[in-house]
Amino acid sequence: MMIVLWMIVILMLMAGSLVFSSRTQMQMMDYARFSVKGRALAEAAAHFAVMQLFVPADERLIKIGGGTAQWEYEGAKIDIRMIGENGLVDLNRADRSLLSEVAKKAGVSDKDIEALLDVIEDFRDSDDLKRINGAEDPDYERENIEAGAKDAPFERVEELQQVLGMTPDLYARLARYLTANSNARGINPMMAPRHVLLLLAKGDERAVDAYIQEREEAKGGWVQPSFGAEFLDQLAAPVYRMQISVSTPDEPRPAYMEERSIRLLPGRNPPFITYYVKTVSPDARFE
């Protein structure tokens, strides 16, 4: 009798773990299907967005640097936002005074700004010569950070997280202003999102909104803003960053969202190259 009871208990345990593991497997497969579908639809949306860039500016459904365009494809609702990387502040090339404005806007105190910029510049410059408040390999070693200073230009904004003293909180506040792909000393205001224009205009919302409206009405023609003249730069070839979120009506999960950075290559097939694609959470959304 005892033996039979034990067998029942063991069989029940086995059945329980079988149910558990097959449920986990189902969930994993379900998630894989969800993300593959999201990626495929986002890929289609990216091609659609690139096509838009070849259309005259006043006929585009997607406005660069302004608002969300909605597109429907295969039953999915897709939101597309596009800004120019050239409308952001380049971590490698931007003037120190412009990076200093970004740090200020991100809440870094005046006394800490110079130190932060010294550490960033030491991280990306090729030498081991430490700036007054900077940090090179020995400083990283002291903090047990094996990788040390990169001693090469930033390839991704995410690398800023490896800079000595960077906190997740500060990184999150800085990152939305930054790019590693613009290759310009300043900002191209025609491609800049609202929050970057606000930085240039020192918070003057009226001036920024007036400029955005003027920019939209100019049908692609150059419009000079009334602010930030010392930080403007329109010489670099345009690089675009898009955020695409895909939601399907029968899907209870939050939308699949990704960000990608591309440059146009007219005459090629496909007519663009992609610098990066990454999935992002909805709170990474730019305005």
Chain contacts with Ca ion (rule: CB under 5 A)? 122, 125, 149, 151
In the complex, the smallest distance separating the C-beta of residue 130 from Ca ion, rounded to whole angstroms, is 8
In the complex, the smallest distance separating the C-beta of residue 138 from Ca ion, rounded to whole angstroms, is 11
In the complex, the smallest distance separating the C-beta of residue 125 from Ca ion, rounded to whole angstroms, is 4
CB closer to Ca ion, 134 vs 189: 134
CB closer to Ca ion, 91 vs 201: 91
Give the residue from 271, 280, 287, 274 showing the smallest Cα distance to 51.
271
CB closer to Ca ion, 43 vs 137: 137
Measured N-to-C along each axis, helices 110-124 and 96-105 cross at an angle, to the nearest 10 degrees, of 130
Residue/partner pairs of 248-257 with CB below 8 Å, 24 or more apart: 248/37, 248/75, 248/76, 248/77, 249/75, 249/77, 251/34, 253/34, 254/282, 255/38, 255/79, 255/282, 256/34, 256/35, 256/37, 256/38, 256/39, 256/41, 256/42, 257/281, 257/282, 257/284, 257/285
CB closer to Ca ion, 43 vs 151: 151
Residues 6+ apart with CB under 8 A from 76: 41, 246, 247, 248
CB closer to Ca ion, 151 vs 216: 151
In the complex, the smallest distance separating the C-beta of residue 137 from Ca ion, rounded to whole angstroms, is 8
Beta bridge partners of 261: 241, 276
In the complex, the smallest distance separating the C-beta of residue 149 from Ca ion, rounded to whole angstroms, is 5
CB closer to Ca ion, 131 vs 173: 131
In the complex, the smallest distance separating the C-beta of residue 153 from Ca ion, rounded to whole angstroms, is 11
C-alpha span between 82 and 46 (Å, rounded): 10
